[in-house]
Structure 1
Amino acid sequence: MYAVPGSGWPGDLATPRTPVAADAADVGRLAASARDLRQLDARVTVCRACPRLVAWREQVADVKRRAFADEPYWGRPVSGFGPPDPRILILGLAPAAHGANRTGRMFTGDRSGDWLYAALYRVGLANRPTAVSAGDGLELNGVRITAPVHCAPPANKPTTVERDTCRGWLTRELELLWPGVRAVVVLGAFGWNSLWPTLRACGIVTPARVPRFAHGVEAQVDGRLAIGSYHVSQQNTFTGRLTEPMLDAVLARAADAAGLPVR
């Protein structure tokens, strides 16, 4: 059973009265009318606009992985995580089925998160190197983490329709955050390809020719730095395609562009 809004889950901003998006049109309307980040995050976490994703995330929360059989699962969309005035925005792909879909916080409770938060800590952008649960005391320094798709997808592969349906949430998030953001770190090609149309939907002028995704690729947009990194998936970290120094260098580059101190 997934976490019910208002049940006291750490960090849950939704209540039984939070409006629920049932389709793409609802996402657009409810996202656009969110007056601040707190209201937007609450609405994100009760969204039911993508039937396949709703069925999958709730099935995972019901069946569970054996290692977490005695734990409750969040089983809902996962909102962004970090302070409301970040200078760096990290854009991933989607919640992991037994990571954020279980814990209710981006990149928390799985090995991808272990890599990301350890790197943020090494660079000086997090107060601790581990992320276990939504109430573990982890705090980010000038960084917010979000994703183009807020529900855990089967096989970690959202469809283009699901991505486009979810875009309204990210569009409004960027509108609210963009004045203070100075750097965007994008983890993986899916996030890189999602960023640019979302920025255009915000009315932000993007480069006439956006560079193809690659690790360390950079682009200037509206006076901000966008920089790509291989995703922190096990497929990349276990094979050595992404190493700790590679990830640390990208985060340090973003911190420098954002005017944040680095260890």
Structure 2
Amino acid sequence: MDKSFSSPVPQAEAPRDCPLCPRLVQFRHECRAEHPAWWNAPVPAFGDSAAWLAVVGLAPGKHGANRTGRPFTGDFAGELLYATLLKFGLAEGDYGADPTDDLRLTGAVILNAVKCLPPQNKTLPAEEANCRPFLMEAIAGLPKLSSFVALGKVAHDTLCRSFGVPLAKAKFAHGAEHALPGGLTLFDSYHCSRYNQNTGRLNAPMFEAVFAKALSRSRG
């Protein structure tokens, strides 16, 4: 089986032609017509079924995961994310920006708040709510999880809502740490998008500091 089809939580994946979000379905069909060789479907989780850390992104990027079928693979954001995971021993192999490379995650898994590509990289609250059951089923299928890194406010808000944590009591901020039910911990980071990196909102040391904190807490 092609690695782009594999998932550490296959029971939690959306069907290829998931009908739940009409706007995303329409955009999916447009992308399939424009780029028929691309993945153009809900993107499955990627990583270790024994992961203690889940990195939660917003949604697939058009030229990244929506093209390749693997989270953060083939776009600018993936360069920093996978370099960071490799640096901290959460990945092994070489990141080749292709799902057929030999990269594998060790102790980590990548999930998304929304599994389908949204127009202009902007999801709607209803789409986030529709996809939340897939996220929670994935989390339930990863019994060793203890920590999350949320990439951006949408991922942070989705996790808080999923665990019943009021947003007023857990405000998103880069480097912030929040307690979730069940002894889980949420760490916030600005998204590793091209925009955030190019504008200086996020740089590699800032990003790495969040993962260093998560690793420190896991070992404490």
TM-score (normalizing by structure 2): 0.91
Partner of 2:3: 10
Counterparts of 1:53-68 in structure 2, within 5 Å, are: 53-64=24-35
Partner of 1:3: none
Write the deviation string for residues 207-226 of structure 1: whole angstroms up to 9, x where unpaired: 79532111001112232221
3-state DSSP class of the match of 2:123?
A: coil
Q: Distance in 2 between matches of 1:13 and 1:139?
A: 12
1:228 matched to 2:188? The reply is yes
3-state DSSP class of the match of 1:145?
A: strand
Write the deviation string for residues 63-98 of structure 1: whole angstroms up to 9, x where unpaired: 24xxxxxx8200000011101121001111000011
Count residues in correspondence: 219
Query: How large is the Cα RMSD of the aligned pairs?
Result: 2.2
Given that 2:112 and 2:135 are in contact with CA atoms closer than 8 Å, whether structure 1 keeps it comes out as yes
Q: Distance in 1 between matches of 2:105 and 2:41?
A: 23
Counterparts of 1:126-165 in structure 2, within 5 Å, are: 126-128=91-93, 130-165=95-130
Match of residue 160, structure 2, among 184, 196, 209: 196
Given that 1:44 and 1:79 are in contact with CA atoms closer than 8 Å, whether structure 2 keeps it comes out as no
Which amino acid letter does the alignment assign opposite residue 208 of structure 2?
A: D
C-alpha displacement at 1:61, in angstroms?
A: 3.5
1:129–1:100: structure 2 CA closer, same or farther, 3 Å change rule?
same
Q: Distance in 2 between matches of 1:90 and 1:79?
A: 13
C-alpha displacement at 1:62, in angstroms?
A: 2.8
Given that 2:170 and 2:178 are in contact with CA atoms closer than 8 Å, whether structure 1 keeps it comes out as yes
Partner of 1:68: none
Partner of 2:12: 40
1:131–1:92: structure 2 CA closer, same or farther, 3 Å change rule?
farther
Counterparts of 1:1-263 in structure 2, within 5 Å, are: 9-12=2-5, 37-41=9-13, 43-64=14-35, 72-128=37-93, 130-177=95-142, 179-200=143-164, 206=165, 210-221=169-180, 222-259=182-219
3-state DSSP class of the match of 1:55?
A: helix
Q: Distance in 2 between matches of 1:124 and 1:44?
A: 32
Structure with more strand by fraction: 2
Given that 1:50 and 1:165 are in contact with CA atoms closer than 8 Å, whether structure 2 keeps it comes out as yes
1:128–1:240: structure 2 CA closer, same or farther, 3 Å change rule?
farther
Please list every run of 5 or more consecutive structure 2 residues that lacks an aligned counterpart in the other structure. Answer: none
3-state DSSP class of the match of 2:85?
A: helix
1:129–1:136: structure 2 CA closer, same or farther, 3 Å change rule?
closer
Q: Distance in 2 between matches of 1:44 and 1:257?
A: 36
Q: Distance in 2 between matches of 1:230 and 1:116?
A: 12
Q: Distance in 2 between matches of 1:250 and 1:81?
A: 20
Q: Distance in 2 between matches of 1:226 and 1:214?
A: 11
Given that 1:118 and 1:128 are in contact with CA atoms closer than 8 Å, whether structure 2 keeps it comes out as no
C-alpha displacement at 1:245, in angstroms?
A: 0.6
TM-score (normalizing by structure 1): 0.77
1:131–1:259: structure 2 CA closer, same or farther, 3 Å change rule?
farther
1:134–1:224: structure 2 CA closer, same or farther, 3 Å change rule?
same
C-alpha displacement at 1:13, in angstroms?
A: 5.2
